[in-house]
Amino acid sequence: MLRALAPGPAMAPGAPSSSPSPILAALLFSSLVLPLAQAIVVYTDKEVHGAVGSRVTLYCSFWSSEWVSDDISFTWRYQPEGGRDAISIFHYAKGQPYIDEVGTFKERIQWVGDPHWKDGSIVIHNLDYSDNGTFTCDVKNPPDIVGKTSQVTLYVFEKVPTRYGVVLGAVIGGVIGVVLLLLVLFYLVRYCWLRRQEALQRRLSAMEKGKLHKAAKDSKRGRQTPVLYAMLDHSRSTKAASEKKSKGLGESRKDKK
């Protein structure tokens, strides 16, 4: 059960005024800050380039604190180069695109956006030099309708010039590619050189082992040769002694006879 608040004591005449109520301060803060915090934000490119006779896409997206409403609307306006007034050339509302039946873009605009993806982009076909100018995208997503529009400037050329950023990116990409190629070649040459060094090292090791084995064989043969000669000399001396002994025995037998 709610109870009514008792009225406070009456302020005496001439007494100093009290400070503002906290509720009034909160209301004032919300009225000033919340609309700014909930303002819709629209995004477009700063500028786009196109060639005569080609087509160009004018991108438009937005951010909103609210869900995409069924009453969302997109409006594109065009201000010619050097002109002061902007004219409406396209409008999207209630799920239907509307192209203005007057002006130079009457039969050259195509709707390619999708509100569910927060996209309000359009395509302009068959570009001409007279299309140079500023295009403004305005989005309303009730109840979020407060916010700034976004502008994109269209430049139409006979041939689309190469952008400085594209050239710089290509140069940087080429330099990086050359550096990577040099690194690959360096590591490939180094790998081949190491493989060759390993092969030479193996051959040298095999040759050293062969020399040591041959030297061992030669030294063994050198040690065996004197022994053989000594054995031969010993056998010869033994044979000569036995022959001499048998000869002496034969002569002594003759003398006895």
Q: Say how far residue 78 (Cα) sits from the centre of its chain.
A: 38
Q: What is the pTM of this model?
A: 0.52
Q: Say how far residue 60 (Cα) sits from the centre of its chain.
A: 26
When pLDDT is cut at 50, 70 and 90, the band that residue 210 belongs to is confident
When pLDDT is cut at 50, 70 and 90, the band that residue 223 belongs to is low
Q: For the chain, how many residues are written?
A: 257
pLDDT of 145 over the 60 cut: yes
Give residue 20's pLDDT: 46
Give residue 2's pLDDT: 40
Give residue 27's pLDDT: 43
Q: What percent of the chain has a predicted confidence (pLDDT) above 70?
A: 67
pLDDT of 5 over the 50 cut: no
Q: What percent of the chain has a predicted confidence (pLDDT) above 90?
A: 39
Question: How many CB atoms sit inside 10 A of residue 255's CB?
Answer: 6
Cα distance between residue 78 and residue 151, in whole Å: 10
